[in-house]
Amino acid sequence: GGRFKKEIVVDGQSYLLLIRDEGGHPELQEGDLSLFAAWVDAVVFVFSLEDEISFQTVYNYYLRLCSYRNTAEVPMVLVGTQDAISATNPRVIDDSRARKLSNDLKRCTYYETCATYGLNVER
């Protein structure tokens, strides 16, 4: 996990982007999660297309967020990411499962990305 910040300009307006990376730590303390839920303006859920556990963890985080915040107020994006998928490193989460999860998260857009091949890296 980590915390990052970056100033970005969108349509001529400057914004400070604060990113908190939980890095697959579903054991966040409830106090930490309630504080996080209070200040968050948007959530980007990221999982590995090669890892069932990371996929399941997304929904667990979502359910916990729902207990602290009305998620209709929070824009959410779901991102399935991959390294080089091959015979020795197969894709585990198919597109239909990922899109179903996106629908289950309500008002959540789904993207797939692969830095290795540059797929959707600039979105």
| Distance from the Cα of residue 29 to its chain's centroid | 19
Q: Is residue 21 part of a domain?
A: no
| pTM for this predicted structure | 0.78
> Could you tell me the two tokens for 114?
């692969």
Q: Give the model confidence (pLDDT) of 33-61 as tens digits.
A: 677 777 788 888 999 999 999 999 899 88
Place of tokens 């197969």: 90
What pLDDT is attached to residue 42? Answer: 86
Q: Is residue 15 part of a domain?
A: no
Q: Is residue 106 part of a domain?
A: yes
Number of domains making up the chain: 1
Q: Which domain holds residue 68?
A: 28-113
Q: Is residue 61 part of a domain?
A: yes
Looking up residue 61, the CATH number of its domain turns out to be 3.40.50.300
